Amino acid sequence: MTSTEKIHSADPAGLKILKYPHPLLAEVCTPVEEHQDSALASLARRMMELMAQAKGVGLAAPQVGVTVRMFIANPTGQEADFRVYVNPKIVAAEDPVEGEEGCLSFPGIYCKIKRFNVATIEATDLAGQVFRQEGRDILARVFQHELDHLDGRLLTDRMGALAKLAHRRSLKELQLQYSGELS
């Protein structure tokens, strides 16, 4: 499926946040080809709703089952700070730091992950304009976390062996919940 087909076949109202170990979360996402697409804007609006309900600061399209290269972020929860990033890439990063990180696809799990404390992203907005933004602290972390999602990389791919051991029970519960939803 092309990215346009993926975006157009999704029904925004029916979307929900997928939890680990849903297989779509492990996919490498396809670049968005069509900008200024009203279906892309509807998808972003729906993701904003879901992210706000879940009290998240970032949400990637594959987390709602649409495997295209787009994510949204809102590090403050203020309406004005909400932003959409289409086909994002990090063009500069510095100052690696370890920090606590969670993920809406891993409810209840927080672990220490090393990320750059400053990261500059280049992306396209919903109007088709390319922009650059420098993120610091939490926003830089959100950029790197959401970009990981677009490449199918999850917290479980970033956590060390000790963290995996520490969270083994919660991870097992998520796996059981997922297989329960299938049956």
Give catalytic residue positions.
146
- Nearer Cβ to Zn ion (10/103): 103
Tell me the H-state helices in 108-160.
Answer: 138-150, 155-158
CB of residue 128 to Zn ion, shortest distance in Å: 26
- Nearer Cβ to Zn ion (34/157): 157
CB of residue 60 to Zn ion, shortest distance in Å: 7
CB of residue 129 to Zn ion, shortest distance in Å: 26
103 binds Zn ion, rule: CB under 5 A: yes
140 binds Zn ion, rule: CB under 5 A: no
CB of residue 19 to Zn ion, shortest distance in Å: 11
Integer CA distances (angstroms), 99 to 28, 34, 70, 142, in order? 25, 36, 24, 12
Q: For the chain, report the end-to-end CA distance as a whole number of angstroms.
A: 27
The candidate with the shortest Cα–Cα distance to 141, out of 113, 161, 106, is 113
| d(C-alpha 138, C-alpha 151), whole Å | 20
- Nearer Cβ to Zn ion (43/103): 103
Considering only 81-89, 100-108, 120-128, 175-183, which stretch makes contact with Zn ion by CB under 5 A?
100-108
**Neighbouring C-beta atoms of residue 3, cutoff 10 Å:** 23
What's the DSSP call for residue 57?
Answer: S
- Nearer Cβ to Zn ion (86/103): 103
Residues that bind Zn ion (CB under 5 A): 103
